[in-house]
Structure 1
Amino acid sequence: MSTDTPKLSANEAIKEESNFLKGTIDVELSESTDQFNKDNLQLLKFHGTYQQDDRDVRLAAKKTGGGKAFSMMVRCRIPGGRITSDQMLAQLDLCDELGNSTLKITTRQTLQLHGVLKSDLQKTINRINEIQLSTLAACGDVNRNVVCCPAKRTDEVHRDMQILTDALVVALAPQTPAYHELWVSDPESGETTLEGGGSGEVVEPLYGPTYLPRKFKVGIALPDDNCIDIYAQDLGFLAVVRDGKIIGYNVLVGGGMGTTPSAKKTFPAIAKRMAFCTPEQAVDVAVAVVKVQRDHGNREDRKIARMKYLIADWGMDKFRAKVEEYFGEPLKDCTEDDVHEVDDHMGWQEQGDGKWSYGLNIENGRLYDNEKHQLKATIRAVCNEFKTDLRMTTNQSIIFTDIEEGDREKLIGIIRKHRATLTEDISTVRRWSIACVALPTCGLAITESERRLPSIIDSIEQPLAKLGLDKERFTLRMTGCPNGCARPYNADLALVGKAKDKYTLFAGGGWVGDRMAYIYKDLVKDADVADELIGIFSAYKSNRLDGESLGTFCTRVGRDDLEVLAAAAPRP
């Protein structure tokens, strides 16, 4: 007998029955087991933490009859990547005391700890809240960390972008008291240690009891500085500037990188231009967009639950009309303003107030100390010496702000003392590359990524120099699976894990981020990756037009001709 009632995904039932994300997490925290049950694992994501197991340790343990080595990844929510020196120092302490002694800067301008044991989870999240940070909504089916240009500037434009960032965080944040009850309350007395805790009426005025169908990402950018990759966001606000003031925003909707190659119904997508709004309208427009996704996004199949699929199904006209209905009035069309430049904010940059910022490139965002490089020690020393704010970038690097003119050499001296590599000494290809975590801790990873990309770059730096392309700017991104956490599908070149030690090689995106790449070759063996990349570089060198970027060249010639040109071009 047929029914019109849709069969919801299992996650929808978990959320519905969770008592606004509390579930039985408190019970499991008190138990001596090393892992959580499957329902609580889904709820814990909303609290900013994933359960993982180290596959390297698993393989070693298997030889002696052992099993999986479970631990938690804990991710902060840091709007716009802005953090104080004291907060950074506290995070470094946490990674040493309760994590695996490394800290990861993510592609959404935040920090995540790895290797936290279940028995230390409550203590870890509690201490993060004590330093006025939070992990709530860093993951899960809600709006996640809002990204914004991290540049420290004194002009009105950057100030207003940061104001909007903070306003969006408040407007789109979950309201459940479960977070404070579980993590912020004193674990022994049960009393809350920070304001905002305690019990009360459980209400989610924006999200309701089942929250969103899938994760949701928001970003704010400038046409002449798309450093946060606005076209990769579910919702983007592109500032429209006239005479040094933001008069409004072009609203972009429907970006999203994740895909499942075995499911043809899934695809990566860049956002589409929807409408223009004034600064005063921006927060309410964001709320309206979220509500449309909340009420009409797919809750039956999580593979097609992101907002990009709703827009693909409805078309932009219908989607915009529904947003305007929720917003309460029509919106104007987008202005002609669009992205056309990117600044990674690395190296020395003037702030406009007589002070300087210095962007330190962090390869793949991993902060660690070893016999060769002491990145954690570098950051500790800078934070203790200057006590200024820091900014994290969506390219997984870090910016030290408010450096006096007379202290510039002192900062450089600290970096050199700890053998960290100055941005100026890093090759262009390495500077513009990023990779996801992948193996050994990500449960979705098929191949290596973060641990493999540095050696790939090692093997292509010299050929690029011989071709005279070592100063050429292009994005090279790598992920261990098709989920696309390092935004591979709009990069000039990208490697995406497809099978064991095999990658899909993408080409034709671009560093501006407004164009999708295409599959150049599939199932490329790990051993052949460098040679395939060098072939593309050689074809580009021999056949590019004046001023043509690598991604634009790959798009112009197309996949088939690119393969022919790569085979024919002289190799360095």
Structure 2
Amino acid sequence: MTETSQPAVDRSRDISQPLDRLGPDETLKATSDQLRGTIALGLLDEITGSVTPEDNKLMKFHGIYMQDDRDIRDERRRQKLEPAYTFMIRVRMPGGVCSPAQWLKLDELARAYGGDTIRLTTRQTVQFHWVLKENLRPTIQKLHEALLDSIAACGDVPRGVMCSVDPRLSRLHAQVYEAASRTSAHAIPNQRAYHEIWYGEERVASSEPEEPFFGKQYLPRKFKMGFVIPPSNDIDVYTQDLGFIAIARDGELEGFNVSIGGGMGRTDQAPETYPRLADVVGFIPADKVLAATDAVMSVQRDYGDRTNRAHARFKYTIDDKGLAWIKAEIERRMGFAFEPARPFAFRSNGDAFGWVEGEDGRWHHTLFIENGRVIDQGEKRLMTGLREIARVHQGAFRLTPNQNLCVSDVAPEDRSKIDALLAEYGLIETRSALRLNSIACVALPTCALAMAESERYLPTLIDKIEAILDARGLRDEPITIRMSGCPNGCSRPYVAEIGLSGRAPGKYNLYLGGGFHGQRLNKMHLENVGEQTILETLDEIIGRYAAERSAGERFGDFAIRAGYVPEVTEGRFFNA
């Protein structure tokens, strides 16, 4: 795909605002010297494993979060020691595409600095946890050797751009991935601070603005984008701030329906916060993607709330201003109007596991990686197996939005070689449909926001729910279940048919009624309950579902029809 015209939005506009009108985080950004802060100086401090709170916030724009081991936090406090600080590094990986050589570098870094494990995220990238402060520079520099970086993987900027993983549609998938990759390269902020701090490059003096589009304050909050190829909604496009829904004819990309205003985050004790699904506002030709991206981002840049971070996501800007006003302003900035949205249909938001053949005759094998945790455990030597596959594989790895991994673009004559390695390292297994449709965030022990377990607990909970399903003959019935350790919704729990968000150790909110392919929010059924209540409740509902469901009726649809929860038609009614 080639852009035939320049984006209509002026990318050199200065949008800085007076400091006395900004919230604390906005003031920090505005006075940070374009995200430099005192990060470089803090890295030299050998007395502590941490950095200052201000630099911790700025380092998020560099794709880095400071964390500590919460399993031993209390014990270290009793010993009058500082927390066991480490850092998480998130890699920027548009569309989740990774070469075997890059995977081998990720594997090497994980074994050297990341606790012998890799974490696949719900946004199709890799996170390293357990990285010590003194190992941050070596890790980032070695990523650079593999043409990888962590720029803008976190922070108030456009985050990593997602793209459907359906290589069966070979030609169309290539076209859409190219659009996603191009958009990622276009939207990423100019970040000289990253090159200076982590690569040791010299600062270059210039009279021009260092970041002409985002200014000194960048965006009010994070901004998420994704490209999806119907009939699979694997990226959960309605949860994105900006989504592009591919419209094709005879396998050729014509353009995209554009959706705006999705977002999962909320706060339990703040009913004015809520998840929201994006609205489809119209169609654009394929060569107008960058113009639309700039226009949408600039509207949020200029009108997003910079005084209250809990109200700063694009979804609130849309609800405050009104969808019609926002759409008209986007069209004004693009210089053309949206065409009417074109028909499309989604059927699921899960992954297709095992071998599938693409239109071009090449093969693709998707592996289930529970909660995205790549690690050697017992007979299942996942990390070692993927390393050995990467050493012989001639295609690509594609990380899916559901925390799984696709060994992609395998020549027919190479399938037996991959199969032998999958078997040797214990990577061929049978799982229930519920488990295959599960997602969990990292949560404890590393995430500072976690209120309850998620990644470490969901597999055990699923064991017990599987027993309920087995008793009703529903083991092969696909039901989406997602768990987050806090209300922020990194695992996209509020569109799951069964959603759980942590409230306290061992306590969760239980949500029901999400759409099977991500088209509907769910609704809280029980608040702040433990495992026994969750299992008793699901036992009753699953029992009724088995006995009373209509032909083809999904579990989320049944939960609404049976009266367990009302249908949520709009994010603003999620907490009603």
| TM exceeding 0.5 | yes
Change (3 A) 1:255 1:449: same
Q: Say if 2:293 is the partner of 1:286.
A: yes
Matched, 1:328 2:335: yes
* Aligned residue number for residue 22 of structure 2: 8
Distance across 2 between alignment mates of 1:155 and 1:371: 36
Aligned-partner residue type, residue 401 of structure 2: T
Who is 1:161 aligned against?
A: 176
503, 517, 524: which one pairs with 2:522?
A: 517
1:114 is matched with which residue?
129
Alignment root-mean-square deviation, CA: 1.9
Residue 241 (structure 2) pairs with residue 227 (structure 1): no
Write the letter of the residue equivalent to 1:483.
N
In the alignment, the residues of structure 1 paired with residue 241 and residue 109 of structure 2 have an alpha-carbon distance, to the nearest angstrom, of 32
CA distance in 2, matches of 1:241, 1:406: 31
CA distance in 1, matches of 2:115, 2:275: 33
The residue type equivalent to 2:190 in the other structure is: Q
1:176 Cα deviation after fit: 2.2
Query: 1:463 offset after TM fit, Å?
Result: 2.1
Specify the alignment match of 1:31 in structure 2. 45
| Pairwise CA distance, 1:245 | 1.8
Number of the residue aligned with 1:175: 190
Rounded Cα–Cα distance in structure 2 between residues aligned with 1:334 and 1:353: 30
User: Are the structure 2 counterparts of residues 199 and 182 from structure 1 closer, same or farther at C-alpha, using a change threshold of 3 Å?
Assistant: farther
Higher mean C-alpha deviation, range 84-93 or range 443-452: 84-93
What is the letter of the counterpart of residue 473 of structure 1?
P
Identify if the C-alpha distance between structure 1 residues 459 and 353 changes in structure 2 by more than 3 Å, giving closer, same or farther.
same
Partner of residue 359 from structure 2, selected from 329, 352, 366: 352
Q: Distance in 1 between matches of 2:84 and 2:532?
A: 30
Distance 1:427 1:163, change over 3 A: same
Q: Give 1:64 shift.
A: 3.6
Q: CA deviation at 1:407?
A: 3.3
Distance in 2 (alpha carbons) for counterparts of 1:37 and 1:561? 46
Provide the residue aligned with 1:43 in structure 2.
58
Alpha-carbon distance in 1 for matches of 2:144, 2:136: 13
* 1:68 match: 83
Considering Cα pairs closer than 8 Å and 6+ residues apart, tell me whether 1 or 2 has the greater RCO: 2
Q: How far does residue 154 in structure 1 lie from its aligned partner after superposition?
A: 6.3
Point out 4+ residue stretches in structure 1 off by more than 4 angstroms: 197-202
Distance in 1 between the 2:319 and 2:468 partners? 42
Tell me, which stretches of 5 or more residues in structure 1 are unaligned?
192-196, 563-572
Alignment partners' CA distance in 1, 2:556 and 2:20: 43
The 1:546/1:90 distance shift into structure 2, 3 A limit, reads same
1:122-521, aligned counterparts within 5 Å? 122-153=137-168, 155-185=170-200, 200=206, 202-342=209-349, 344-422=351-429, 425-521=430-526
Range moving further from structure 2, 214-223 or 459-468 = 459-468
Distance 1:470 1:95, change over 3 A: same
| Counterpart code for 1:26 | A
What corresponds to 2:543 in structure 1?
Answer: 538
Change (3 A) 1:382 1:210: same
2:364 alignment partner, SS class:
strand
Task: State the distance in 2 between where 1:388 and 1:513 align.
Answer: 30
Quickly say closer, same or farther: Cα 1:158–1:54, change in 2 above 3 A: same
Q: How many residues align?
A: 548
Residue pair 2:524, 2:565 contacting (<8 A) in 1 also: no
- AA paired with 2:122? T
Q: Could you list the per-position Cα deviations for residues 34-53 of structure 1 after superposition, in whole angstroms to 9, with x for gaps in the alignment?
A: 11111111110010000001
* Contact 1:79–1:145 (Cα < 8 Å) also in 2: yes
The whole-number CA distance in structure 2 between the counterparts of 1:505 and 1:431 is: 20
The answer as to whether partners of 1:239 and 1:249 remain within 8 angstroms in 2 is yes
Could you tell me the percent identity over the aligned residues?
39
CA distance in 1, matches of 2:242, 2:217: 20
Deviation at 1:555, TM superposition (A): 2.1
Distance 2:167 2:345 in 1: 22
The Cα of 1:199 is off from its aligned counterpart by 6.0
Matched to 1:526, the amino acid is E
- Partner SS state of residue 558, structure 1: coil
Cα deviation digits, residues 473-509 of structure 1 (max 9, x gap): 1210000000000000011111110223210000100
Equivalents in 2 of 1:266, 1:561: separation in Å?
19
**1:251/1:274 contact within 8 Å kept:** yes
Unpaired runs of 5+ residues, structure 2, are 1-17, 568-576
1:68-96 C-alpha deviation (Å, 9 max, x unpaired): 11010000010000001111111111111
Task: Write the deviation string for residues 146-165 of structure 1: whole angstroms up to 9, x where unpaired.
Answer: 00012334643212101111
Q: Distance in 1 between matches of 2:205 and 2:122?
A: 34
Counterpart of 1:569? none
Relative to structure 1, the CA distance from residue 470 to residue 198 in structure 2 (aligned partners, 3 Å threshold; closer, same or farther) is farther
Deviates more, 1:329-338 or 1:427-436: 329-338
Any idea what SS the aligned residue of 1:43 has? helix
CA contact (8 A) 2:371 2:441 kept: yes
Q: Cα–Cα, structure 1 residues 317 and 184, in superposed 2: closer, same or farther, change >3 Å?
A: same
Residues 559 and 5 (structure 1), Cα distance of their counterparts in 2 relative to 1, 3 Å cut: farther
**Scaled by the length of structure 1, what TM-score is found?**
0.92
What is the TM-score normalised by the length of structure 2? Answer: 0.92
Tell me the amino acid that sits aligned with residue 16 of structure 1. Answer: A
Q: Residue type matched to 2:417 in 1?
A: K
